[in-house]
């Protein structure tokens, strides 16, 4: 029997949680021991009524939740959840569609097809690209680099999908020294050892140097993949993609762009210049759960060469009947079979924003990041990066210990949440403004809290 009262109660609990976000402590309140004793214990022999399960789960988890969909959560690169995206995601759970294939859910298939088309358009990527929705940029990087591996080996006369990597022609992989950790892991999963990667120097903002890449490419030959980046996780800086693509294509190398959040600059006429030339690359990874503000989890992969993309990912089996060859099977484009129907939330987010809303979201976050940097810099705090996008790196005084202490105090205070990092060997506080719900007054509150923490730490 459908328990309407339970679903209504959950809607109430969720609304209460969301309404409280602006006022609540931005980080967790409880430690692990408290959470374990609230939520742990042996699994009982007998089941518990669903209503009781939900009440106790909500109560037990509350103090261990972080206000990540709230307006002053600036950790990692964290988007909130747009109202339409959150609501569509609830429906996706209730509909419980297997987003695997056209047969398992025609609606999930068509909605993902439409949403992927809109994403390509909004991000200025070639319309003919293959595209899919992954768990995040991590798996989008795996997917893009798998397509790259297959394609460069095909050109060298080797079918990696059939023959594997043993005995295959060596592939050169070149990555900027500031490539994201998930790119290194993607390469590891695909059989490229860390020691085999040619690391290309980056400039002081973390952008791969195109001249260093050209030199490195000229120093060798054979199939090659270049891993470029749009949006350094610390500084927000974007590699000079036009120059990188030109240098790489000159040597017939494949260019994969990890643009987990930075690629969204393309959605705004004001910021698109930062990623100029991105469309010339061969594959692109980005996230929807960051700047598009859909609930976790959702990444995006696009690959210009649909054949290479499908060759790396698609699967067939005798029981997987395809009645309509034109119908999209979502799992042809990602490394997952049964999967959440992620397209519904992406579709809803994009429809609710429209082109202008997406541009405005990017521009607002960037403007707010600049506002925060200006507010604290005016009081003597050092801003370590050029605030070109939505990332701000702050340093307090000359020593790492003081900066680490300010980060700790800010987290304890709870007005906002920001994490620590090391940038070019120095401790820094990372502030990432990626939520649709952040306002100017949130930034002013956050700046004040940071300055108070800095004063108290001295």
Ligand X SMILES: Cc1ncc(COP(=O)(O)O)c(C=O)c1O
75 binds ligand X (CB under 6 A): no
- Kindly determine how many residues on this chain lie close enough to bind ligand X according to the rule CB under 6 A: 15
Q: Does 138 bind ligand X (CB under 6 A)?
A: yes
Joined together, the tokens standing for residue 284 give 């692109």
The answer to whether 233 contacts ligand X (rule: CB under 6 A) is: yes
SS3 132: strand
What separation, in Å, do the N-terminal and C-terminal C-alpha atoms of the chain show?
61
According to the binding rule CB under 6 A, does residue 77 interact with ligand X? yes
Query: Long-range contact list for 360-363, CB < 8 A, 24+ apart?
Result: 360/268, 361/267, 361/291, 361/293, 361/436, 362/264, 362/265, 362/267, 362/268, 362/271, 362/291, 362/390, 363/268, 363/270, 363/271
Q: Name which of 261 and 344 has its Cβ closer to ligand X.
A: 261
CB 234 within 8 Å of CB 423:
yes
The pair phi, psi for residue 124, each rounded to 5°, is 70, 30
Q: For ligand X, which is the closer residue by CB, 389 or 450? A: 389
3-state DSSP call for residue 447?
Answer: helix
Min dist. Cβ of residue 87 to ligand X (A): 22
Closest CB to ligand X among 144 and 223?
A: 144
Rounded to a whole number of angstroms, the CA Rg of the chain reads 23
Q: Whole-angstrom Cα distance, residue 281 to residue 276?
A: 11
Shortest separation between residue 331's beta carbon and ligand X, angstroms? 19
Residues 281-300 that bind ligand X (CB under 6 A): 287, 299
Q: Are 417 and 342 in contact (CB under 8 A)?
A: no
Coil, helix or strand at residue 286: strand
Residue 297 beta carbon to ligand X: minimum distance, rounded to whole angstroms? 7
User: Least distance (Å) from ligand X to the CB of residue 353?
Assistant: 20
Question: Using the rule CB under 6 A, which residue among 89, 112, 243, 258 binds ligand X?
Answer: 258
For 62-66, which contacts have Cβ atoms below 8 Å and span 24 or more sequence positions? 63/28, 63/29, 63/30, 63/34, 63/35, 63/38, 64/28, 64/29, 64/30, 64/34, 64/35, 65/17, 65/28, 66/26, 66/27, 66/28, 66/417
* Contact between 231 and ligand X per CB under 6 A: yes
Of 152, 244, 260, 349, which one interacts with ligand X (CB under 6 A)? 260
One character per residue 175-214, x = contact with ligand X (rule: CB under 6 A): -----x-x--------------------------------
Task: Note whether 234 binds ligand X by CB under 6 A.
Answer: no
Q: Residue 309 interacts with ligand X (CB under 6 A)?
A: no
Distances (CA, A) of 384 to 65, 99, 167, 399, 458: 30, 43, 46, 14, 20
Q: Does 265 bind ligand X (CB under 6 A)?
A: no
Q: Which is nearer to ligand X, 34 or 386 (CB)?
A: 386
Q: Which stretch binds ligand X (CB under 6 A): 134-142, 145-153, 196-204, 350-358?
A: 134-142
To the nearest whole angstrom, how small is the minimum distance from the Cβ of residue 389 to ligand X? 11
Residue nearest ligand X (C-beta atom): 136
Nearer to ligand X, 230 or 451 (CB): 230
411 forms part of the interface with ligand X (CB under 6 A): no
Binding site for ligand X (CB under 6 A): 76-77, 136-138, 180, 182, 229, 231, 233, 258, 260-261, 287, 299
């Amino acid at each position: 029997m459908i328990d309407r009262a339970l679903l209504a109660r959950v809607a109430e609990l969720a609304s209460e949680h969301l309404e409280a976000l602006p006022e609540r402590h931005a980080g967790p309140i409880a430690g692990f021991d408290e959470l374990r004793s609230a939520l742990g214990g042996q699994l009982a022999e007998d089941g518990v009524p669903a209503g009781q399960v939900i009440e106790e789960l909500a109560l037990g988890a509350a103090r261990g939740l972080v206000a990540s969909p709230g307006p002053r959560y600036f950790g990692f690169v964290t988007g909130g959840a747009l109202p339409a995206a959150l609501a569509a995601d609830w429906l996706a759970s209730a509909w419980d569609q297997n987003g695997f294939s056209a047969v398992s859910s025609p609606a999930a298939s068509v909605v993902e097809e439409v949403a992927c088309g809109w994403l390509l358009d909004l991000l200025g990527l070639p319309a003919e690209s293959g595209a899919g929705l992954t768990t995040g940029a991590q798996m989008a990087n795996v997917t893009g680099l798998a397509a790259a591996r297959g394609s460069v080996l095909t050109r060298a006369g080797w079918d990696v999908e059939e023959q594997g990597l043993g005995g295959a022609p060596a592939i050169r992989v070149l990555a900027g020294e500031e490539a994201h950790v998930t790119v290194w892991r993607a390469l590891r999963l695909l059989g490229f050892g860390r020691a085999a990667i040619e690391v290309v120097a980056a400039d002081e903002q973390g952008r791969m140097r195109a001249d260093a890449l050209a030199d490195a490419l000229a120093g060798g030959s054979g199939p090659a993949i270049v891993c470029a980046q749009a949006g350094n996780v610390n500084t927000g800086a974007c590699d000079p993609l036009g120059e990188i693509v030109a240098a790489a294509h000159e040597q017939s190398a494949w260019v994969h762009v990890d643009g987990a959040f930075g690629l969204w600059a393309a959605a705004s006429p004001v910021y698109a210049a930062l990623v100029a030339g991105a469309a010339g690359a061969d594959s692109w990874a980005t996230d929807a759960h960051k700047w598009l503000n859909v609930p976790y989890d959702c990444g995006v992969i696009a690959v210009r060469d649909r054949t290479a993309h499908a060759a790396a990912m698609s699967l067939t089996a005798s029981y997987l009947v395809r009645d309509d060859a034109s119908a999209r099977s979502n799992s042809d484009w990602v490394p997952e079979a049964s999967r959440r129907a992620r397209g519904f939330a992406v579709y809803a987010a994009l429809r609710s924003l429209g082109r202008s809303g997406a541009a405005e979201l990017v521009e607002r976050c960037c403007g707010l990041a600049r506002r925060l940097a200006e507010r604290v810099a005016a009081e003597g705090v050092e801003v370590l990066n050029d605030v070109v996008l939505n990332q701000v790196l702050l340093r307090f005084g000359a020593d790492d210990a003081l900066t680490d202490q300010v980060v700790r105090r800010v987290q304890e205070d709870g007005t906002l949440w920001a994490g620590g990092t090391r940038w070019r060997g120095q401790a820094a506080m990372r502030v990432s403004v990626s939520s649709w719900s952040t306002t100017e007054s949130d930034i002013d509150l956050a700046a004040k809290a940071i300055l108070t923490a800095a004063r108290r730490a001295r």
